[in-house]
Structure 1
Amino acid sequence: MSNTSEFLFAHVDLDGVQVGPGDQVLVHDPITEISFGEVLSYQRTATVSKASLLSRAWVYLTARLELTMLYEVSFSTTRFSKSKHYPRAKPYKAITPITLHEGVKA
């Protein structure tokens, strides 16, 4: 773990255990607070729960679809991409009123 002016991160090394899509890792007794300027390295026990084949396939497929949602992300009020305007306006159709001079014949 690191909390410095250059880096803010926490990494877990599982000593050769392969983790795939849908797998869950639970770190027992984790350190949750680190003071500014500290860099810590410690060992803890972790439990890895492997996903089923169906769950692994589902996570793999939905992750690919959710990735496309990140293509145009903005936290500002202005858009940087001027090529697309959201929401897109529907094409304007001029409406001309229809006037009946003779009335409706049955």
Structure 2
Amino acid sequence: MSKQIVPCHVDMSNTSEFLYAHVDLSGVQVGPGDQVLVHDPIVDINFGEVLSYDRTATVSKAGIVSRLWVYLTARLEVTMLYEVSFSTTRFSKAKKYPRPAPIQEASPIILREGVKA
């Protein structure tokens, strides 16, 4: 694994429209399995702030075996996203989750007027 120290530019935003943190490395292409460590990062950003600053970063390049391993396992991890749904019904019957019982409607009570003596 080879390491390089390169300058980088960090953009961060925590507003009602955007929530992101981007790192732009100068002159380095990052691939599967590579690791990037930003030196002295600002990690606490208050709501409504937008920050932009320059730092240095250490880029550790992955070897051919670890690059191939990450490439293959990443394809399998993407399939975990296929089951994500924000609807109330499940289309997959693979797992049975507890579902609420249907609500039974109660019959109304009819009171008769007056009492016979």
Stretches of structure 1 lacking an aligned partner (at least 5 in a row) = 89-106
What is aligned with 1:79? 89
What is aligned with 1:57? 68
- Residue-pair matches, total: 85
Q: TM-score, normalised by structure 1?
A: 0.73
User: For the aligned residues, what is the CA RMSD?
Assistant: 1.8
What is aligned with 1:24? 35
| Percent of residue pairs identical | 78
Letter in 2 for 1:79: T
Counterpart mapping for 1:2-21 below 5 A? 2-21=13-32
Ranges of 4+ aligned residues in structure 1 off by more than 3 Å: none
**Residues 18-77 of structure 1: per-residue CA shift (max 9 Å, x gap):** 00000000000000101111111000110000001000000000001111111112477x
Stretches of structure 2 lacking an aligned partner (at least 5 in a row) = 1-11, 97-117
Letter in 2 for 1:14: L
Name the SS of the counterpart of 1:71 in structure 2: helix
Letter in 1 for 2:79: T
Q: TM-score, normalised by structure 2?
A: 0.67
Letter in 1 for 2:67: R
Larger % of strand: which?
2
